[in-house]
Structure 1
Amino acid sequence: MSTATPAHVVRIIGGMPASDGAGVRLTWVIGTPSLPELDPFLMLDEFGTDRPEDYLAGFPDHPHRGFETVTYMLDGRMRHKDNHGNEGLLTPGSVQWMTAGRGLVHSEMPEQESGRMRGFQLWVNLPAREKMTDPRYQEFAPERIPQVEPAEGVSVKVIAGSVGDISGPIVQPATDPLYLDITLAAGSHWRYTLPAGHNAFAYVFEGGVAVGEGESARAVAQSELAVLGGGRQLRLQAGAQEARLILVAGRPLREPVARHGPFVMNTREELMQAFIDYQEGRF
């Protein structure tokens, strides 16, 4: 066992029901009054439903500037397009890491009329020096996401960061992100060393997980987010049922944040300029 200082749960946040786009129903986790942000993370939404009426309207054309959006599909198919000519199809298990940079207008529309649609969208801030970069995409099909079994009963999809010698395909030097999709068989446990200096959270989306060591461990239920703190040695244990969670961490930027809707800048003046540029068609 590592002698690293144990990580522990600082806070537990429950998701809030919400809707976005043209009425897509989702659970809003980061970006709520309870947790406005967790530097460098600005927002986390979980969407998941078997009811087509909850997702068919999708997310029609909308702008972004100054940050990144990370879409991870668990079930369903989502077609995305933007005003720079980029287009692609997100299928189950795929991930898209979009750097909006200086600005684009894009849409995300379901490419199915029935069945389950489930996944996450995470917003990650960009440092001031990169807010006006050219937009770009890092998009990977499920077969490009490595999967490892670091302990008995534990399976991990490595989207960003690393587990042992296995690294995920997403690279972003500014925030050096970690993004793991972890499945724990009933009763199984796993220890993982978090990146030094990062802010981290665990969000449970199936079952329940005990987070932390010994008597200080706290139970985190389905649809709850645990903000992590303390040391780097994280212990996760499933209860009587299989559990699944995402573990996400990033280097904090520690810069002022000026945000409104789909624009995230450092000053009010930059925010106002973003609205002007969008209205005048400069995206």
Structure 2
Amino acid sequence: MIRKVSGIIQGKYTVDGAGVKLYRVFGGVPTAYITDPFLLLDFFGSSNPSDYISGFPWHPHRGIETVTYLLEGKVEHEDSEGNKGVIYPGDVQWMTAGSGIFHQEMPKPLSLEDKGILQSKILDNSNKGLQLWINLPSNKKMSTPVYRGVKSSHVPKVKIDSGEVKIIAGEFQGVNGPVKAGLYVDPTYFDVILRPEGEFIQKVKENYTVLVYVIQGGADFDDRTKVDEGNLVIYGEGDEVRIRSQEGSRFIFLSGKPIKENIAWYGPIVMNTDDQIREALLDLRRGTFVRDKNPVFE
């Protein structure tokens, strides 16, 4: 059965980190029960460095996974587990915070040196990308932190008659994404580009949450619903999604197994109970927030 659109969420502009201007597609406790297992999706994009250069200095995470997918510019990152590097366009950083981790992410425009590294002719002040938060089930919230860094060259691209599908996680036409091990909600994460009159068809699992965020253009998400950029589509039940674009579009396709557990949320910490939140805050005051000193690097 083809899934129908059950809801549409329009995001809002906000400021986060040390003053980064971004577009919050969705996020917060009430919405999280609808988008379960996905907690939050931010879209950041500007050609003015003053909108993003202040970045996201050192901050903690516990109980979730964060997925940063960069489209333009670069992000310099570092964390308390010893990871340090640069995310370039097309790269993915998939981090399981688990029992606790500190990190910082500092968006920057590409430099002349970066231009040489990327062998690119494009050099401007643009910085654009997305960060997704994924909830962890209660029995994995205090698991060992895991860091996965995926370069653009390792993200498979499948050409379809009407465009292209980049597979970050999940499977499309027999091709699997590079992020596999330790994924607790069976996530699918695609970046889909459709040409005018293009169509995207994907089988999905029954009872899984299916979301689509329109980055650019617009499309028909069922036979009655056209959605333009900046909006999130929430699908109802069924086992197949069909999206048709009359004018061409780009969108992020997400699917995952709902956790269906209570959510207690305090800033960058998401647990199941208020007592667990208080414990995390006490750990921060005591300096014992990072519980596991032996993270996994993949």
Gaps of 5+ in 2: 111-123, 291-298
- Residue 207 of structure 2 is aligned with which of 193, 197, 202? 197
Identity of aligned residues (%): 39
The SS at the match of 2:40 is: strand
Matching residue's letter, 1:207: G
Question: In structure 1, how many angstroms separate the alpha carbons of the residues matched to 2:246 and 2:232?
Answer: 17
> Which of 37, 42, 46 is residue 43 of structure 2 equivalent to?
46
Give the aligned partner of residue 251 of structure 2.
245
Shift of the 210–32 alpha-carbon distance from structure 1 to 2, 3 Å rule, reads: farther
Question: Structure 2 counterpart of 1:223, which letter?
Answer: G
Deviations, residues 125-152 of structure 1 (Å, cap 9, x unaligned): 0011111112111110000000002x31
* 1:267 is aligned to 2:267: no
Amino acid at match of 2:91: S
> 1:7 and 2:15 equivalent?
no
Counterparts of 1:263 and 1:35 in 2: how far apart (Å)?
Answer: 16
Question: In the alignment, which residue of structure 1 is the partner of 2:241?
Answer: 234
Q: Please say if residues 71 and 89 of structure 2, whose CA atoms lie closer than 8 Å, have aligned partners that are also in contact.
A: yes
Specify the code of the residue in structure 1 equivalent to 2:231: E
Tell me if structure 2 keeps the 8 A contact 1:22–1:57: yes
CA gap of 1:17–1:34, structure 2 versus 1, over 3 A, is farther
Match for residue 108 of structure 1?
A: 105
**One-letter amino acid matched to 1:63:** P
Contact kept in structure 2, 1:7 and 1:232, CA below 8 Å: yes
> In the alignment, what sits opposite 2:192?
182
CA shift at 1:24, angstroms?
Answer: 0.5
How many residue pairs end up in the alignment?
Answer: 274
Cα distance in structure 2, aligned partners of 1:219 and 1:102: 41
**Worse overlay, 108-117 or 91-100:** 108-117
- The answer for the alignment partner of 2:161 in structure 1 is 152
Letter in 1 for 2:141: K
Supply the distance in 2 between the matched residues of 1:173 and 1:145 (Cα, whole angstroms). Answer: 17
Q: Which moved more, 1:257-266 or 1:192-201?
A: 192-201
Does residue 221 of structure 1 match 2:228? Answer: yes
> Does 2:95 match 1:98?
yes
Letter in 2 for 1:191: I
CA distance in 1, matches of 2:205, 2:213: 17
Q: Which amino acid is 1:65 matched to?
A: R
2-structure distance, mates of 1:147, 1:99: 24
Aligned residue for 2:276, secondary structure, equals helix
CA distance in 2, matches of 1:109, 1:77: 8
Per the normalisation by structure 1, the TM-score is 0.93
Letter in 2 for 1:117: N
- Contact 1:29–1:35 (8 Å) recurs in 2: no
Letter of the 2:8 counterpart: I
Tell me if 1:209 matches 2:219.
yes
Deviations 1:95-138 (A, max 9, x none): 11100011111100124376111110010000111111121111
Q: Secondary structure at the match of 1:195?
A: coil
Three-state SS of the structure 2 residue aligned to 1:277 is helix
Cα RMSD of the aligned pairs, angstroms, is: 1.4
Counterpart code for 1:166: V
Hey, what does 1:59 align to over in structure 2?
56
Counterparts of 1:197 and 1:169 in 2: how far apart (Å)?
Answer: 24
CA distance in 2, matches of 1:275, 1:165: 44
Q: Is the 8 A contact 1:13 1:34 kept in 2?
A: no
In 2, distance between residues paired with 1:17 and 1:35? 17
How big is the shift at 1:32? Answer: 5.0
- Unpaired stretches in structure 1, ≥5 consecutive residues: none
- In 1: Cα distance, 2:170 partner to 2:254 partner: 9
Residues 52 and 108 of structure 2 are in contact (CA less than 8 Å); yes or no, is this contact kept in structure 1?
no
Residue 14 of structure 2 corresponds to 18
Q: Is the 8 A contact 1:13 1:35 kept in 2?
A: no
Counterpart selection for 1:163 from 172, 195, 198: 172
